[in-house]
Chains A and B, each alone.
Chain A
Amino acid sequence: MAVVFQGIGATAALTSATSVDSKKLYILSRRLVSETKSTFMVVRSDGRLNSGSNRRAQKLITNAVATKADSSPATKPGHELLLFEALREGLEEEMERDARVCVMGEDVGHYGGSYKVTKDLANKYGDLRVLDTPIAENSFTGMAIGAAMTGLRPIVEGMNMGFLLLAFNQISNNCGMLHYTSGGQFTIPVVIRGPGGVGRQLGAEHSQRLESYFQSIPGIQMVACSTPYNAKGLMKAAIRSENPVILFEHVLLYNLKERIPDEEYILNLEEAEMVRPGEHITILTYSRMRYHVMQAAKTLVNKGYDPEVIDIRSLKPFDLHTIGNSVKKTHRVLIVEECMRTGGIGASLTAAINEYFHDYLDAPVVCLSSQDVPTPYAGTLEEWTVVQPTQIVTAVEQLCR
């Protein structure tokens, strides 16, 4: 089945997608769909088809996730959990493993974390190791950096990423630059994490995307998690990294459920994730927009397109290796991000792709980002500040014409 599916994709690539062909493809894919008795199919990174569960068929967003090895009986079943639990599991494993790992932030201790990421950790590890700080972002981030200079490995939680703007001086000057300005004497193995992004009508100040502000700071690494699997892996990798890492989470993704392996794993901080291989167009995305892209991908597949979706995960530095290989294959790039249009991650990525892979592009790089407005409170307006699946579909159709 996988072969047949890929064959359809290949034919579509060779001939330019005319309306006749796409109808044929549509009919073919409908037949395939009815044969498997599920409403969608996901082509996995190793080429095998994976059908989602019928029960969750109605919830479009979560079902678009490419799940890791769980359906074949040969592999371990793993355990199912929500994204914030995955983060907590990763954090707890690292705290168990290394006594120097500590957490500091507002309400992380007794309260358990405003998104429950540090729930019960204070009971287990004590108040000094899971430290409830006063509301003083500038100084507790500074404190974490000072502690890191001596060898501790603190994790700073910003209750909302937007609050970390108050700590910008510490993050930029001390966190990012101390390793360099001290000639390599000090390493700052700090992890700064917190939820950001446009949530459910939280208002302008609580819906900020700080990736764009931090991306030029030399000396830090930035990653964004999007699934429970990569959340746990990236959290562990960030804690073990000797560099300062900023881990961007998203307010709306904390309750995503996924089955993750029982055995210990960490993910590479600088690697991108191939969500769905394809032939026609490379769609680069990260964090919440991954789900909008996958939702659009469903529509696109039904219309006969074969998008390759990559979750870039590493926002600084970009995984130009994976992205480059993809661009060399598909020759068209669409970037879908939640960051602002001006000076966002997409803008940097566009520049990087144009610089390195200009010869491989058949069409200009299109970047869909959030509008350059403070996020409005009203639901309808908020919806239109971020990129919606319909816009993604339109953009792909235009690019692939």
Chain B
Amino acid sequence: MQRRDRGIAQSLGLPLTKRVKESRVLLVGAGGIGCEVLKNLVCSGFGSLPQYYGGEIASEISDMRRPEIVVVDMDTIDLSNLNRQFLFRKQHIKKYKALVAKETASQFNPSVNIDAQSGNIFDDKYDVAFFEGFDLVFNALDNLAARRHVNKMCLAADVPLIESGTTGFNGQVQAIKKGVTECYDCNPKPAQKSFPICTIRSTPSQPIHCIVWAKSYLFPELFGTSEEDSADVTVTEVDNVEEVAKLRIEAEALKTIRGLMGKSEFAQAVFDKVFRDDIERLRGMEEMWLSRRKPEVLCFEQFAPSMDKSEDVVERGRALAMKDQAIWSLAENLAVFSSAVDALSNRTLASPGTPLEFDKDDKDTLDFVASAANLRSHVFGIPLNSEWEIKQMAGNIIPAIATSNALTASLSVLEAFKIMRGASFEQKGVSKLTISHVAPTHNYMVTNGKEGFMLGGSKMVFLNSRSTERMITTQNLVPPQPDCAVCSPVYAKLRIPSNSSATLQDLVTLLQEKLGYEDFSIQADVGIIYDPDLEDNLEKGMIPAGYIKAGNGFLTVVDEGDEGRVDLVLSTSFTPNTTEADPESGLQLMPEEISLPSKHKSVAESNGQAMTTTEATGDASKVAAHFNAKRKRDAEEEVVGAKKRAKADEEVMVVEDDGAILLDD
């Protein structure tokens, strides 16, 4: 053992230290939390094995299983990242986060194995097989969609996931393992806030309505690709059908004004269209203003006395736009509006065909949205805001600080140690803890007579560093919600040669013969493709019809019979050529044996077999004492040769539906 990692070995104990070094882990996201997680992983020796053994075993292990830290992030570095994403410096702005993170972290320990990929985690190449190559996955993401996606991929690949997130002073860490804990989707997440289209386009009453109007309607209509329905705005039941139709005509008229772009009267034309003509039309709708204040018409000309040449307005606006904490007056907003329209027009004309997108960190687009939103607020008698405040609302900015990221990332890695330690318990055959060793604060599971801590005593951890008394608190991990649509199904694989002519009928036959399905339906990414009353697609080829695609495709098989077995989710993938499995279609289910418990039974089983202690008192040190006895001085032992890596998915404690716990031999 090198002197470099003696300290780690002393604290973790030798078996866990070895396991950490042998591990292959995936880090999704190299932002605030990601940078910190990467530092923790590198400093704790994750994925650093071959170097410590002279690279001898490296050749025995395929690339997909090599001890390594794989970092995936598609973003580039922005100035506003530098107050916390400490692997990045000023000279790195606009470079890929993943690549720079690797470069900086490698300086600490040049021998650590980091594979940096500047890709989108939704890409086809990050398929189930890719995820299966890891012992553990860390989520360090900033958006719901990607979190849910990685959650599903980890469930399909049966790899433990450590999910984390921060907002300001708060943070949260949660370990997720198929069949053992709740998954990310077991609890519904609040949907993104969306406003009725009439509130945004006709009857705003809050600053945010005007901001959404400027950002999601006016800006794209003028400088971007016009989109009928942005995620922020939807036609809802409360919307007036006639009004919605009129709004469409209004938007069309705006498009014709786009043709004036580059001419000196462009800003005035836009202004008079949206703040004069459109408002006059609205004022005419008397019934709309029975219980509301009528909007006030603005006219570009009315500001004419305060400005002679349009050049000056643009200049003045540019200067004003620097004062982003002040609340601009009406005339000042007009000046900023003019200068922003000028700047954005020049950009559009310079590269026609490249639509602009609103970006809170793109000053021209922010100036435009802030001034247009304020002008509209004035029209509707809504208080005006500073650009700085508007930026927060328009950009969905979440406050972020270095300390919260450091704390949350450290907790993620701490939970990783627990999960891996839980696994090594199994490995060492010490899973049969007597009840006296159990600290009641820990989730203690009894599954089919086998006892153990849920994921090695891992917990749901909450951070609130603004608090004075309770900065880091925990809750027990909870078993999966039996009716969760994402994690309650059984996950398996469907493989198909890329040249296969298999039809949907072939798949239906396969499911009937191998798994005894009778009444059932199949759902692909495109929707339901088969059910007892839908046989139109049976003759279609799986590949030509797009039911099976390269990459991250899923097919869900729902048992519609009386017995009602749990759903089966098949992750689909191509194999190079026809296999012996089924020479006709080449369709192949993996694994060979798939057990599908009935929905009802599966609930009863999980209630009866997985018993968790819920007592909230007790002490954690007993656990420590127990580990202590086991790990005592392990660190002093010498490593005798490198044991060939066993398949990680056999080492991890897995509670299968049939109750079998797989142990390492």
A and B interact: no
